[in-house]
Amino acid sequence: MNLKQFELKGKKALVTGGAYGLGKAFAEALLEAGAEVGIVDISNELPAAVKELKKSGPVTGIKADLSKRPERKRAFQKFIKIFGTIDILVNNAGIQRRHQAEDFPIADWDAVLEINLTAAFEFCRMAGKVMLKKGSGKIINIASLLSFSGGITVPAYSASKGGIAQLTKALANEWAGRGVNVNALAPGYMDTTMNIALIADSIRSRQILDRIPAGRWGKPDDLKGAIVFLASHASDYVQGAIIAVDGGFLGR
């Protein structure tokens, strides 16, 4: 086996929501594998994240509000202007809203679906046009355990991540034979800011932990190997897959 197939030297990668949490870990992993990375985020943490990530390789920050459709186009065009092309897209940006389903505000539903699903599709479409023209590229969508199950008090998030799984398969059906790999990672329960409410809920947190065979919540670094695999030539025959990195949760 030639381990060089995992190398990403010279590849141009775009990571949405890359300023903190899982996105930052994805960006760091791609840099460590040799890629040049652009991270798109609205967070005020973006400058600090770029400064820290530069220790691992060449990285550029692009500030944009991905809830706004013109901003998504502007951010992508700026990435192309800076990097010249795109070889890897990681659709990581996402938000969460929690309410009982019967009281779930339609405004929160719209906000979650817009960023988690519609923005992801739009980035897939923009990147796909570039990748298809040159006959190569890797698109990695970030799904969730809730792509497989319904969750509690998160109907919009569950719907968006179910949509991400099906979008991944649909795009793979169209693009696999044209040189573009489209796959998804489904992180398990991760110790990140998105899950602060769950972690703080002693009963729910214990219920989750009891179902994880690994015996712990995941950490962003647990996803680094999987993201490099899907971004590299090592995954050239992997298409439309939803790969769970969940400490064994789904197998319980």
pLDDT digit string, tens, across residues 136-182: 999 999 999 999 999 999 999 999 999 999 999 999 999 999 999 99
What is the domain extent for residue 92?
A: 8-243
pLDDT at 195 (0 to 100): 77
Nearest to 126 by CA among 79, 173, 193, 83: 79
Q: What is the CATH number of the domain that holds 38?
A: 3.40.50.720
- Residues of the chain where predicted confidence (pLDDT) is lower than 70: none
Note whether residue 239 is domain-resident: yes
Q: Note the pLDDT tens digit of each residue in 31-51.
A: 999 999 999 999 999 999 999
Number of H helices, E strands in the chain: 9, 7
pLDDT at 98 (0 to 100): 94
pLDDT at 200 (0 to 100): 77
Q: Report the domain count for the chain.
A: 1
Q: Which are the catalytic amino acids?
A: 157
Q: What angle do CA 222, 21, 203 make, to 5 degrees?
A: 80
Note whether residue 221 is domain-resident: yes
How high does pLDDT run on average in the chain? 95
Note whether residue 249 is domain-resident: no
Note whether residue 252 is domain-resident: no
Note whether residue 1 is domain-resident: no
User: Helix, strand or coil for residue 24?
Assistant: helix
pLDDT at 34 (0 to 100): 98
Residue 73 exposure: Cα atoms within 13 Å on the Cβ side = 3
